[in-house]
Amino acid sequence: MSELVYKTIGVVHSPFKEPKNVPIQATVSKGIVGTIEIYPQYIEGLKDLEGFSNIFLLYHFHLTTGCYLMVKPFLDDKLHGVFATRSPARPNKIGLSLVHLLRIENNILHVEDIDILEGTPLIDIKPYVPKFDDRKNAKIGWFEGKLDKLNETKDDGRFCKPAKS
Amino acid sequence: MSELVYKTIGVVHSPFKEPKNVPIQATVSKGIVGTIEIYPQYIEGLKDLEGFSNIFLLYHFHLTTGCYLMVKPFLDDKLHGVFATRSPARPNKIGLSLVHLLRIENNILHVEDIDILEGTPLIDIKPYVPKFDDRKNAKIGWFEGKLDKLNETKDDGRFCKPAKS
């Protein structure tokens, strides 16, 4: 099982039309609204999702080019192992964002705090449950002392192809 | 981009040799120790990961059979849309666990609180950062009132092939 094949279950619509200037985490995209379009054949799987205020989106960094084992992440000027970062230029280009679910209309999820590029293929949705997913005293390695730069740090396109002009 | 192909970057070793009786979340696997073997070509990507106490593992539910849009999860006797559950029988069989990282020796991650089956193919590792990943007041939909059953609820093998005898 060296190769795994997954299907796109939907697509992300957001105000971010190119990698440059996308907020680097959902926590700094406060109030930025987007929609997640789920393909019709998966609608049934959305039942009861509306009871959750926060959901994980798993998606494919479709514009990211290359794969680096050492990367210089947006929040630091030093190289770190890619698995110690949330960089998109990973061996498997899977992104994980925790967004705020506003409401669901048929196959459209209205979400807030989105940090995902327009047109991004969606792979999975999982409900967020603090009892499973909260570790408030976690040690945060090289991020320590860097998070005060979070608000002013944006994607600069370093991991992606240039946007078409 | 309807199909996405990913590579296995390593394999999970755990005391759980068959789906039956695997704890259903990492938070109820307290103290259960396992190892994550990263394939040698990805070792460089682990640099600085040891500074983090908690890491997300993304992996493939390799023994799960079938895909259901409505599932009866372990914690309830009612059907819910699969995207409102953490069930393994999803359109894309990707699992997400938040484990405690004890230490790293070369290509071996020693972890605690593991809720993953022996032999599970690993897809990605991401550092856990409370500022990005904590939403302690999140609304938890149908899980409300069910979490007191978490400790005594184990995988009963319902989503998997029978273990080989």
CATH for A110: 2.40.30.70
Whole-angstrom distance, CA of residue A134 vs CA of residue A137: 9
Domain annotation covers residue B79: yes
More confident residue, B37 or A145: B37
Using the structure block, give the residue that is written with the tokens 């302690």: B136
- Judged by CB atoms closer than 8 Å, whether chains meet at A141 and B51 is answered as yes
Domain annotation covers residue A165: no
- Say whether residue A117 is in contact with chain B using an 8 A CB cutoff: no
Whole-angstrom distance, CA of residue B120 vs CA of residue B105: 20
- Judged by CB atoms closer than 8 Å, whether chains meet at B94 and A8 is answered as no
pLDDT on residue A163: 45
> Of A4, A27, A47, which is closest to B6 when you measure between CB atoms?
A4
**Confidence category of residue A96, pLDDT binned at 50, 70, 90:** very high
Domain annotation covers residue A66: yes
Whole-angstrom distance, CA of residue B89 vs CA of residue B159: 6
Yes or no: say if A23 and A29 are a contact pair by the CB < 8 Å rule. yes
- Say whether residue A125 is in contact with chain B using an 8 A CB cutoff: yes
Domain annotation covers residue B104: yes
- Judged by CB atoms closer than 8 Å, whether chains meet at B45 and A69 is answered as yes
Q: How many domains does chain A have?
A: 1
- Judged by CB atoms closer than 8 Å, whether chains meet at B126 and A92 is answered as no
Domain annotation covers residue B2: no
**Confidence category of residue A165, pLDDT binned at 50, 70, 90:** very low
Range of the domain at B127: 10-149
- Judged by CB atoms closer than 8 Å, whether chains meet at B4 and A8 is answered as yes
Note the pLDDT tens digit of each residue in B81-121: 999 999 999 999 999 999 999 999 999 999 999 989 999 99
- Average pLDDT score over residue span A1-15: 92
**Confidence category of residue A147, pLDDT binned at 50, 70, 90:** confident
Q: Which residues of A touch B27 (CB under 8 A)?
A: 131-132
Q: Least CA distance to B134: which residue of chain A?
A: A134
Domain annotation covers residue B158: no
Q: Least CA distance to A119: which residue of chain B?
A: B1
Q: Least CA distance to A84: which residue of chain B?
A: B49
Closest CA–CA distance from residue B61 to any residue of chain A (Å): 11
Domain annotation covers residue A156: no
**Confidence category of residue A4, pLDDT binned at 50, 70, 90:** very high
Yes or no: say if A108 and A13 are a contact pair by the CB < 8 Å rule. no
- Angle, CA of A18, A108 and A56, to the nearest 5°: 70
> Of B42, B92, B140, which is closest to A123 when you measure between CB atoms?
B92
Report the complex ipTM.
Answer: 0.89
- Say whether residue A64 is in contact with chain B using an 8 A CB cutoff: no
- Say whether residue A123 is in contact with chain B using an 8 A CB cutoff: yes
Domain annotation covers residue A144: yes
pTM, entire model: 0.89
φ, ψ of residue A51 in degrees (nearest 5): -70, -10
Yes or no: say if A56 and B84 are a contact pair by the CB < 8 Å rule. no
One-letter amino acid for residue B39 of the chain: Y
**Confidence category of residue A138, pLDDT binned at 50, 70, 90:** confident
Closest CA–CA distance from residue B93 to any residue of chain A (Å): 8
Q: Which residues of B touch A80 (CB under 8 A)?
A: 47-48
